[in-house]
Structure 1
Amino acid sequence: MTAESTEIISYLEPSIADDYRNWDDSASWLLGYSFLPLALGLDRLPDTRLLDLGCGPGEVTRWLADRCNARITAVDTSPTMIALADEHAPHERVEYRLSEDGRLSFLADGEMDSAMACFLFTCVDGEDQIREIITEVARVVRPGGRFTILVPNPDQVSGAVFEGFKRGEDGARYEPGELMPVEVQRTDGSWTTIKNRYWNRDTYRTALAKAGFEGPVKELAPVLADTEGVADPALRGDRAWERERTAAPFLLLTATR
């Protein structure tokens, strides 16, 4: 496993946004995205209005629109990502929108039934920014609506190796907001190294509470056995999934407005 480059990840840079589509996201699909309908309760909400914050190139957005018959407003701050989504993941029930200032000014108060943010906050520099983003989500989600945050599991760092990626340096410990190297495999077998911000559970829980999301925050930390009846069996492929049998690479945090 060798790293090609090291840089603070920014999907505003066209080269990084383009390269993102070549990353091996097998683990994200099997143990992350597949659990979004469960966390959000989308199967019980036909024709739901869903906000996808930080939609990237739109593959997950399009899948959810089909899987859950959702009407989705998908938002990103990267013009390149929105262009990729429009080109490669168009859908009649999806509207892709560019947010130039991180605000959702094109959405009214309480307009959305639910919202999600997948791997967004590892690219956010400060806790104040995280709170501002979540407060804006709280504004546009109706009372009783859910907000699910899908993040790398904060317990799995210090050189944790999963299928397709490695998080952190061996033996290192990270404080909230600290930059952490992540080695990512591409679909062609090559590797690249990026840097993400490390945030712990308390960061998200505090921001959710301050924004007005009430009640306990529910957690899902799926391991391989949990995928039975949830994820498409084909997603397992022919990979070993050794660490994923006992350690959850991702965490889904869900709060109710």
Structure 2
Amino acid sequence: MKITVTEDQAPLDYDQDQVAQQYQEAKQQLWRSRIEEPSLMRLIGDLRGKRVIDAACGEGYFTRRLRQAGAAEVVGFDISERMIELARSQEAHDPLGIAYRVEDARTVVPQQSFDLVVSAWLLVHAQTREELQEFCDGIASRLRPGGRFVTLTTNPDVYFFRPRPDYRKYGFEMTLAEHVKGGAPIRFTMHLEKADLEIVNYYLPLTEYQEAFRRAGFRDFQLHPLHLAPDPAGRDDRADWEDFLKNPIMILFDCVKAE
């Protein structure tokens, strides 16, 4: 079975129970633990004493990691009620002192004073520069002056990879629109144990990201390379990941809210 979102359909509804659970299952694919998680956590760095928000936290995968890594306070929020239910269920089973709430990252809130906002796969939902600006403004309102934003998002350059790589050996496929333009879909089909899950992200050029964060009051916008964690079994398997690392589906960047 395959859950599909075509170009003229609404975005995937993460409040559907099946979709939320499949998204949770997709977090267990090997590239997540070998590249996604170590890359993001390495960029985040020392969390001791920090007040942290995980924006668009989903079922709380990275939220838990932030707390386990030493953050003094962690709040996770997501627009999906079902995702927050899953996160709260995990918190009830294994309490870490994390607060979860249903919230839209685009909402500008009364000035908060968090040290760090982290998001994985949040900005991929912006189809226009106006929507992207809403996300950036919402993030800025949650940070103290000098606070940092760290994110992982879809690599806009996937539209320009030549030849286009085959990612099936990593557990997913990528499908692109015929013509690249702002808001063009980037579809990922995750091959899971019982069903395929198709997730739709959207293309905006990197310059749009840089400009949106500048307008939101951020500075020091920097891109960072991905990091491959060592094989748990001790094998030298870097060659197995060469296609992924040379043609990365995601980029990491951070920026700082101006003081």
Asked if 1:255 is matched to 2:259, the reply is: no
Provide the identity percentage.
23
1:199 to 200, 204, 213: 204
Q: Deviations over 1:71-94 (max 9, x none)?
A: 211010100000000012454331
Checking the alignment, whether the CA contact within 8 Å between 1:221 and 1:248 is kept in structure 2 is no
Which residue in 2 is equivalent to 1:59? Answer: 61
Q: Deviations over 1:147-176 (max 9, x none)?
A: 01201222124654331222224x944222
Aligned mates of 1:248, 1:28 — CA distance in 2: 13
Shift in Å, 1:34 = 1.7
Asked if 1:47 is matched to 2:54, the reply is: no
In structure 1, the residue corresponding to 2:200 is in which secondary structure? strand
Q: Deviations over 1:20-78 (max 9, x none)?
A: 1122532233222222233233x1x4120111100000011101210233421101010
Which residue in 1 is equivalent to 2:213? Answer: 208
Which residue in 1 is equivalent to 2:171? Answer: 164
Checking the alignment, whether the CA contact within 8 Å between 1:25 and 1:164 is kept in structure 2 is yes
> Which amino acid is 2:188 matched to?
V
Shift in Å, 1:123 = 2.5
Which of 236-245 and 32-41 deviates more? 236-245
In structure 1, the residue corresponding to 2:2 is in which secondary structure? coil
Compared CA separation, residues 236 and 18, structure 1 to 2 (3 A): farther
TM-score for the superposition, normalised by structure 2: 0.81
In structure 2, the residue corresponding to 1:251 is in which secondary structure? strand
Which residue in 1 is equivalent to 2:35? Answer: 31
> Which amino acid is 2:107 matched to?
R
Compared CA separation, residues 164 and 130, structure 1 to 2 (3 A): same
Shift in Å, 1:252 = 0.7
Compared CA separation, residues 29 and 205, structure 1 to 2 (3 A): farther
Checking the alignment, whether the CA contact within 8 Å between 1:59 and 1:89 is kept in structure 2 is no
2:107 to 103, 106, 109: 103
Shift in Å, 1:114 = 0.7
Shift in Å, 1:189 = 6.8
Aligned mates of 1:208, 1:179 — CA distance in 2: 22
Which residue in 2 is equivalent to 1:117? Answer: 119
Shift in Å, 1:236 = 9.3
Which residue in 2 is equivalent to 1:10? Answer: 13
In structure 2, the residue corresponding to 1:241 is in which secondary structure? helix
Which residue in 2 is equivalent to 1:77? Answer: 79
Which residue in 2 is equivalent to 1:183? Answer: 189
Compared CA separation, residues 236 and 181, structure 1 to 2 (3 A): farther
Which of 55-64 and 127-136 deviates more? 127-136
Aligned mates of 1:131, 1:208 — CA distance in 2: 7
Aligned mates of 2:48, 2:180 — CA distance in 1: 41
Shift in Å, 1:234 = 2.7
2:151 to 137, 149, 152: 149
In structure 2, the residue corresponding to 1:161 is in which secondary structure? coil
Q: Deviations over 1:97-125 (max 9, x none)?
A: 111684264xx524100101110122234
Aligned mates of 1:52, 1:150 — CA distance in 2: 12
TM-score for the superposition, normalised by structure 1: 0.82
Which of 126-135 and 71-80 deviates more? 126-135
- Gaps spanning 5+ residues in structure 1: where? none
Aligned mates of 2:213, 2:233 — CA distance in 1: 32
Let me know the Cα RMSD of the aligned residues: 2.8
